[in-house]
């Protein structure tokens, strides 16, 4: 099976555009179409539905797509063994990450990464809502959660300590809590699905932050929006230190109950499906992120 035709199919399936996929590979539209027809004839199945207006994946094409990606990953890995690690730094890497983290910490690194690996294209999918790394067919994803799923493998990037904070103006007008019980009646900027959170005190005592006992009039699904709302004095907010370290250092935000910490064991993980071959391009980007963002001391409470 011709891997060049497989690569063309994968790109056409991802872009739903045969001409654009062919152009990315240096092929004229007619040549790209002919190659896809040849692949379909070889497989005995129609992989793409074509009309004058659009291209879409057939059921057979959707079923075949992950296997095509796996074949290409194996081929790239095999070539890299012979040509060195950086020989595989080509093609497109699909990477999913929380939008707020990516904007603050990954976007500023892109010029350096692109200069170092000019033949590797990053397809970034950014959202602060939960995603499925397997169903999304991502090569690599950043998650902030315990790595409990048996279908995933990963490497730790850094700690992800969360802290309770507020703007000085809010605390001046509403009062500064000194114990967990003082949180009752305060305004809380929250995620829509925020559950009760366990907190550990300086002497090991346990308390619970219960949103039901606070005033939750602002629900947000974006970490940057929560930080901005907190800066504006909307209320208290639970934030990752990687998102608010600068504001805490400058005094724009203040820690609330600074001797208490959230007992959630959150860690930033770089994960990929266990079934995937760890291709050179995936390893290169993973190593790059760990080199520049790994084990940041200011992200651990």
User: What CATH number does the domain containing 100 carry?
Assistant: 3.40.190.10
Q: How far apart are CA 55 and CA 14, in angstroms?
A: 11
CATH number for position 226: 3.40.190.290
Residue 257 falls within a domain, yes or no? yes
Q: Does the pLDDT value for residue 265 go beyond 90? A: no
The fraction of the chain above a pLDDT of 70, given in percent, is: 89
**242 lies in the same domain as 279:** no
Q: How far apart are CA 199 and CA 273, in angstroms?
A: 32
- Say if residues 93 and 122 touch (Cβ distance below 8 Å): yes
Q: Of residues 184 and 90, which shows the higher confidence score?
A: 184
Residue 48 falls within a domain, yes or no? yes
- pLDDT value of position 134: 44
Which residue, 55, 83, 111, sits at the end of a domain?
Answer: 83
Rg over alpha carbons for the chain, rounded to the nearest Å, is 24
Which residues have a Cβ under 8 Å from the Cβ of 17 and sit 6 or more positions away? 55
**97 lies in the same domain as 72:** no
Residue 268 falls within a domain, yes or no? no
**141 lies in the same domain as 5:** no
Average pLDDT over residues 23-35: 91
**147 lies in the same domain as 175:** no
**174 lies in the same domain as 224:** yes
Residue 25 falls within a domain, yes or no? yes
- Say if residues 221 and 269 touch (Cβ distance below 8 Å): no
Residue 129 falls within a domain, yes or no? yes
Which residue, 83, 108, 143, sits at the end of a domain?
Answer: 83
Residue 188 falls within a domain, yes or no? yes
Residue 7 falls within a domain, yes or no? yes
**173 lies in the same domain as 221:** yes
Question: DSSP state, 104?
Answer: I
Domain count, the chain: 3
**77 lies in the same domain as 124:** no
Q: Does the pLDDT value for residue 147 go beyond 80? A: no
Encode pLDDT of 217-256 as tens digits.
Answer: 899 988 899 999 999 999 999 999 999 999 999 999 999 9
Residue 267 falls within a domain, yes or no? no
Q: Does the pLDDT value for residue 64 go beyond 80? A: yes
**Strand, coil or helix: 181:** helix
CA distances from 154 to 18, 24, 78, 127, 271 (A): 34, 31, 21, 20, 4
**240 lies in the same domain as 193:** yes
Q: Domain of residue 17: give its range.
A: 1-83
């Amino acid at each position: 099976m011709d891997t060049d035709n497989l690569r063309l199919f994968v790109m056409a399936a991802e872009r739903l555009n045969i001409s654009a996929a062919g152009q990315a590979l240096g092929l004229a539209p007619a040549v790209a179409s002919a190659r896809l027809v040849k692949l379909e004839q070889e497989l005995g199945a129609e992989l793409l539905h074509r009309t004058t207006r659009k291209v879409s994946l057939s059921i057979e094409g959707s079923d075949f797509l992950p296997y095509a990606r796996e074949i290409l990953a194996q081929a790239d890995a095999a070539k890299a063994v012979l040509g060195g690690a950086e020989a595989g730094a080509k093609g497109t890497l699909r990477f999913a990450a929380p939008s707020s983290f990516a904007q603050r910490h990954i976007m500023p690194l892109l010029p350096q990464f692109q200069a170092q690996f000019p033949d590797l294209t990053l397809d970034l999918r950014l959202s602060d809502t939960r995603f499925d790394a397997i169903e999304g067919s991502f090569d690599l994803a950043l998650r902030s959660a315990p790595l409990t799923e048996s279908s995933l493998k990963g490497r730790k990037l850094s700690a992800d300590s969360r802290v309770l904070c507020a703007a000085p103006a809010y605390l001046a007008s509403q009062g500064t809590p000194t114990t967990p019980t003082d949180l009752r009646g305060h305004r809380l900027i929250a995620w829509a699905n925020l559950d009760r959170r366990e907190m550990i005190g300086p002497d090991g005592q346990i308390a619970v932050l219960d949103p039901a006992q606070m005033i939750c009039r602002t629900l947000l699904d974006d970490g940057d929006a929560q930080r901005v709302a907190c800066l504006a004095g909307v209320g208290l907010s639970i934030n990752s230190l990687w998102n608010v370290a600068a504001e805490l250092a400058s005094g724009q935000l203040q820690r609330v109950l600074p001797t208490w910490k959230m007992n959630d064991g959150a860690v930033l993980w770089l994960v990929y499906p266990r079934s995937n071959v760890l291709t050179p391009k995936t390893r290169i980007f993973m190593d790059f992120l760990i080199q520049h963002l790994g084990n940041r001391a200011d992200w651990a409470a």
